[in-house]
Structure 1
Amino acid sequence: MMEVVNNVSLLSIILAGAFLIRERERGTIEHLLVMPVTPTEIMIGKMWPTALVVFVAALLAIVVVIRIWLAIPVAGSLWLLMLGLALQLFATTSLGILLATLAGSMPQFGLLLMLVLFPLQVLAGGTTPVESMPDFVRIPMMAAPDTHFVALARAVLFRGAGLEVIWPQILALVAIGLAFFVLSRWRFRRFLR
């Protein structure tokens, strides 16, 4: 179950960033710039399909593989989990776009991914409890969307928590997603110049 949660971040960051890098490497980003679209619309056009594909894949994995095939019961509301998943995808695709604007090529993007994905996967609480980490690790990881999504997913999937319990994680995902979106939008405008 936690592997599905961990792979959501991995796929959304890699795919969103790779789409943008490939457009730049092939020179097709200039074609988009002469169209009557804003840089924000171009950025959202890269984020939305990635989020949709990962959302559908995660939904199918939870419903078909985990609930039906493996017959593992899900304690909480699947719709509440999907709300958290949508907010997580907003934050992680924004992060993928941000990383793509920092990288000049696909190999540089791959190196950046190693620096970002490993801490997100290991320190977000999916494999080790956040509470057992020292403060110098735990406090910076509170700015990572994965930390809040793992807490949300565990609460909903394993304990059947409702909105009254997970609202802090939802607010954190909204705030982190908006911060990454605004920062990636600012970098994307500079990236296009």
Structure 2
Amino acid sequence: FVVQGALHVPVEGSILLFMLVATLHLFATTSMGIFLATVARSMPQFGMLLVLVLLPLQMLSGGVTPRESMPALVRWVMEAAPTTHFVAAAQAILYRGAGLAVVWPQLLAVAAIGCLLFIAALSRFRKTISLMA
């Protein structure tokens, strides 16, 4: 609403497809946050852990600087981050008008990373609860 309505910026691709990618990204990053919360022992430690994890994820995802200008090792490591795949899919959809046939690998990657993080968070949470009982 803001981008097209107030700013009058043209969007090339499907808004519905972009919303699907954004929803999957929210699931993956929420799962990552829950996993980090199970690692931290206190709220301040969780806050510091978030800064140490989310800031590099954001900076190295390809949204701020092009991934092509990064060292190969960094690009390889960032393939495990959901933000990298979200940025690639969002740019393809919003700027180039790509459809599902083009962005399905990024959708699959974000969903897989989100599921893995959710399973890891659930496993750690259950282990933590069982230790308390």
TM-score by length of structure 1 reads 0.66
> What is the CA deviation profile of residues 95-136 of structure 1, one whole-angstrom value per residue up to 9, with x for unaligned ones?
010010011111100110111011111000010111221111
Tell me whether 1:166 sits opposite 2:66 in the alignment: no
Structure 2 matches for 1:96-107, cutoff 5 A?
A: 96-107=33-44
Matched residue, 1:85: 22
Give the unaligned 5+ runs of structure 1.
Answer: 1-62
Q: Whose relative contact order is higher, 1 or 2, with alpha carbons under 8 Å and at least 6 apart?
A: 2
Cα deviation, residue 86, structure 1: 1.1
Cα deviation, residue 160, structure 1: 0.5
Question: How many pairs align?
Answer: 130
Match of 1:185 among 107, 117, 122: 122
Tell me whether 1:156 sits opposite 2:82 in the alignment: no
Q: Which range moves more in the overlay, 173-182 or 146-155?
A: 173-182
Structure 2 matches for 1:13-28, cutoff 5 A?
A: none
Give the unaligned 5+ runs of structure 2.
Answer: none
Tell me whether 1:131 sits opposite 2:68 in the alignment: yes
Match of 1:144 among 70, 81, 91: 81
Cα deviation, residue 191, structure 1: 2.4
TM-score by length of structure 2 reads 0.95
Tell me whether 1:74 sits opposite 2:2 in the alignment: no
Output the amino acid matched with 2:67.
V
In 2, distance between residues paired with 1:174 and 1:121?
Answer: 18
